[in-house]
Amino acid sequence: AIASFRIAIALVPTDVDAWSNLSATLNENGQKEEALVCLDRALALNPQHSSSLNNLGFALQGLGDTAQAIACFARAAEIDPNNAKAYFNLGCALQVSPLPDEPETAIACYRHGLALNPDHPHTHNNLLMGLQYAVNVTPQEIFSQHLQFARQFEAPLKKSWQPHANDRDPQRRLKIGYVSADLHNHAVASFIEPILTHHDPRQVEVTCYYNSIKNDAVSERLRTLVSHWIPCTTFSEDQLAARIRADGIDILIDLSGHTGGNRLLTFARKPAPVQASWIGYPGTSGLAAMDYYLADRFYLPVGLMDDQFTEKIVRMPAVSGFQPYTGAPEVNALPALANGAITFGSFNQLHKFSETVIALWSALLRALPTSTMLLGGLPPGEKRDGLIRFFADQGVPASRLRFHERCPLDSYMALHHQVDICLDTFPYSGGTTTLHAAWMGVPTLTLAGKNAAGRQGGVLQGHTGLEAFVASDPDDFVRRGVWWAQHLDALADIRAGLRTRFKTCALGQPTIVAAGLEKALRQMWQRWCAGLPPESFDVTL
């Protein structure tokens, strides 16, 4: 494609579209500097060229200049209100912006993009993800939008669903397929690796369908744990579905949901007789083709949120395993005992922050005038400055805030030595960060949510007997934070014993999680063999 565009430009040097398309292709190929040069030429020829402005925004975002990227996308959409790509990219940029109302603005962009191009699944995926972070959206609205995704993309495929020829022996060894784009140095790998390690090869034969070109030490390690590893980025949805059928997969498990790199449209073709969603996405797929959602009693208590899922809920002994970082330092003494004041912390991603989150954290900080807060993963610049302004507006000066840039895992884990209690985000609570903190002896104060995304933070507390760190409402959040700050001896005892609690609970024992999963898979399979529809059930060992 690059050569073709160069030829077109050589023939017609004033062809703005050719310059713009060349820039986009170069950027995708990693040739970012040359892409910017081409965009300069395109915009010199036509400063109002919407596609070039969109491509410039995409290039700038890739270089970390979110503010300028937003300006370019907004200008591209203003010039051409029918440019669906510009609205999609503007939504993506706004969703990770530190500006106050940007999550809601991002959602509006995705909705506008879908109005222009309703057949673009990635825009719908991003809308669904964006809704999980929105404060003023009800669980019922989120569920309804997931059903709309299914109406748009799954319903036309149902007529082509074919019967499955899998051997209906209820006791035989099962062929299990995992589909994910995150089988590399990614949070999902920390959850799936201990399960792959402890699967019983007498019970299951495992195939991973890997939808990413990323290959690193983690992906190489995971590859050795399974019988078959199928890279599938080049497969169309039909091709991947056909491959899964040809491989005779009995139970196909999605590890992505509506996150990036998902293959939900393959699942929508129903290539396996039993299909389930697990780990990667805190919510329903919306698909009729997805039979089950894997959880536990702390994550999705019986009857609490079943009506937010098209899938039937399977409650295992623990929702997942987790591989703690083996190089983590030892747990230290409670910092507040030496400092004389409590230090709160957050290591969540910035796009989980909102004015509402910061307002609640600030209320707790104001209630404890000597307290401070450490915020990790934030380099100097616009994002950090934006947060400082947010806190200042809530009466918390910058002098009470400490920031730390993204750092290697060793250093990140050691940062917990400076933190007494982590504060969770909402309505999308922390998952991996909460578990890392617990491994370092730091409990997380969380606000129980009204949907699955808001209940991740309370799973560990339930498994480790720390329900006292789960607040029922914002006022309760502040009350609990103040109480723990005033009972440092009790907090110190929890810190000293939390790693042991983690190791000994079901969540910290991958053998239990793997056995629970395999028992769940067996029960799903036996129901299919008997011609029975999916149903919710609990798994006990």
495 and 351, same structural domain? Answer: yes
Q: Which of 448, 452, 449, 421 lies closest to 437 in space, CA to CA?
A: 421
Q: Report pLDDT for 459.
A: 94
522 and 501, same structural domain? Answer: no
φ/ψ region of 531 (left if φ > 0, alpha if ψ in -120 to 50, else beta) reads left
423 has which bridge partners? 445
Residue 83 near residue 50 (C-beta atoms within 8 A):
yes
Residue 359 has phi, psi (to 5 degrees) of -65, -40
Q: What is the pLDDT of residues 130-183, one digit of tens each?
A: 999 988 899 999 999 999 999 999 999 999 999 999 999 999 999 999 999 999
268 and 200, same structural domain? Answer: yes
Assigned domain for 328 exists: no
Letter string b/e over residues 215-254, b meaning 16 or more CB atoms within 10 A of that residue's CB = eeebbeebbebbeebbebeebebeebbebbbebebbbbbb
Assigned domain for 325 exists: no
Residue 314 has phi, psi (to 5 degrees) of -110, 120
Categorize the per-residue pLDDT at 99 as very low, low, confident or very high, splitting at 50, 70 and 90.
low
Please report, rounded to a whole number, the percentage of residues in the chain having pLDDT higher than 70: 99
- Tell me the mean pLDDT in the region 1-22: 91
196 and 152, same structural domain? Answer: no
Residue 100 has pLDDT above 60, yes or no: no
370 and 260, same structural domain? Answer: no
The CATH number linked to 304 is 3.40.50.11380
Assigned domain for 327 exists: no
169 and 144, same structural domain? Answer: no
Assigned domain for 173 exists: yes
169 and 43, same structural domain? Answer: no
Please count the residues of the chain: 541
What gap in Å lies between CA 281 and CA 253, rounded to an integer? 12
* Tokens coding 438: 């617990």
Residue 261 near residue 282 (C-beta atoms within 8 A):
no
Domain closes at, from 125, 158, 191: 158
pTM of the model: 0.92
DSSP 8-state assignment for residue 348: S
The answer for residues whose C-beta is within 8 angstroms of residue 515's C-beta and 6 or more apart is: 198, 200, 541
Assigned domain for 240 exists: yes
Q: Which of 81, 40, 79 lies closest to 59 in space, CA to CA?
A: 40
Residue 254 has phi, psi (to 5 degrees) of -90, 130
- Tell me the mean pLDDT in the region 52-59: 92
Assigned domain for 12 exists: yes
Assigned domain for 354 exists: yes
The answer for residues whose C-beta is within 8 angstroms of residue 450's C-beta and 6 or more apart is: 138, 139, 427
The CATH number linked to 80 is 1.25.40.10
97 and 29, same structural domain? Answer: yes
Q: What is the pLDDT of residues 341-370, one digit of tens each?
A: 999 999 998 888 888 999 999 999 999 999
* Tokens coding 495: 């810190």
Assigned domain for 329 exists: no
449 and 399, same structural domain? Answer: yes
Q: What is the pLDDT of residues 221-252, one digit of tens each?
A: 999 999 999 999 999 999 999 999 999 999 99
Q: Report pLDDT for 102.
A: 66
What gap in Å lies between CA 68 and CA 48, rounded to an integer? 16
Domain that holds residue 478: 335-505
- Tell me the mean pLDDT in the region 330-336: 98
216 and 141, same structural domain? Answer: no
What gap in Å lies between CA 508 and CA 274, rounded to an integer? 28
How many domains does the structure of the chain reveal? Answer: 3
Residue 367 near residue 481 (C-beta atoms within 8 A):
yes
268 and 252, same structural domain? Answer: yes
The CATH number linked to 345 is 3.40.50.2000
The answer for residues whose C-beta is within 8 angstroms of residue 114's C-beta and 6 or more apart is: 120, 123, 124, 127
Domain closes at, from 113, 143, 158: 158
202 and 145, same structural domain? Answer: no
What gap in Å lies between CA 248 and CA 207, rounded to an integer? 10
User: Whole-number mean pLDDT of the chain?
Assistant: 95
Q: Which of 157, 155, 124, 158 lies closest to 142 in space, CA to CA?
A: 124
What gap in Å lies between CA 115 and CA 392, rounded to an integer? 38
